[in-house]
Amino acid sequence: MSSKHKWAALMELLWQRISHYRSPVLATAVVFQLLVLMSIVAGHYSDIARGQSVLLKVIPVDPRDLFRGDYVILSYEFSRELPRETSSDYRSLTGREIFIPLVPAADGQHYRSGGATWTKPESGLFLKGWVDADGRHEFGIDQFFVQEGKGLMYEDAVLRSELSAEVSVDPDGKAILKRLIVNN
């Protein structure tokens, strides 16, 4: 038998073996992918369930992206706040962890910054973020996708100081933006 025929026979035998296990392997792959997706979703909802809901006053920046539809870029009163002893050279601070302790605001509904700090608070509610190259703080709550055509409604609401964000904050300072609220 020539080497070409031996190779063909070997490939035929290999294909028969693979075909025999094709259904179980395919089923296992599909189940694995579903489990990965479910664990991602469960982890996200676990963070929301463990966290405490707070309202934060927001400042939207841009309501539209041609590829992703309407969304609101949010800024908070403390988005650029630095600890007192810090210089204003943002480039040297890029990537550094920052913590914003949250305290009740005077209106009794919202929360505000209790003073930015570089060290993790030992108790109480706080946000954990990072300083970016522009000196803004990234907390993972800076974008919110909205129904097509609704972005400008939220922008108008903030101009009237009537926009709040409901945020779930877990004990480690991780925040998840749950929804935007237009206060009337």
* pTM beyond cutoff 0.75: no
Q: According to the model, what pLDDT value does residue 6 have?
A: 84
SS3 97: strand
Give Cβ neighbours of residue 150 (< 8 Å, ≥ 6 apart). Answer: 70
First to last CA, the chain: 86
Joined together, the tokens standing for residue 170 give: 């877990």
Q: According to the model, what pLDDT value does residue 61 have?
A: 59
Pairing verdict, β 111-113 and 163-169: unpaired
pLDDT in tens, 18-72: 777 777 777 788 888 988 888 887 776 776 667 778 888 776 555 555 555 667 7
Q: Which residue has the higher pLDDT, 180 or 14?
A: 180
Buried b vs exposed e over 35-53: b needs ≥16 C-beta within 10 Å? eeeeeeeeeeeebeeebee
pLDDT in tens, 87-134: 666 677 888 899 999 999 998 889 999 999 999 999 999 999 999 888
Cα 89 to chain centroid distance, Å, stands at 27
Mean pLDDT of 165-182: 90
Q: According to the model, what pLDDT value does residue 29 have?
A: 81
Amino acid at 102: L
Mean pLDDT of 7-13: 84
Q: According to the model, what pLDDT value does residue 160 have?
A: 82
pLDDT in tens, 143-163: 887 777 777 787 788 778 888
Q: According to the model, what pLDDT value does residue 60 have?
A: 58
Domain ranges of the chain: 1-50, 52-182
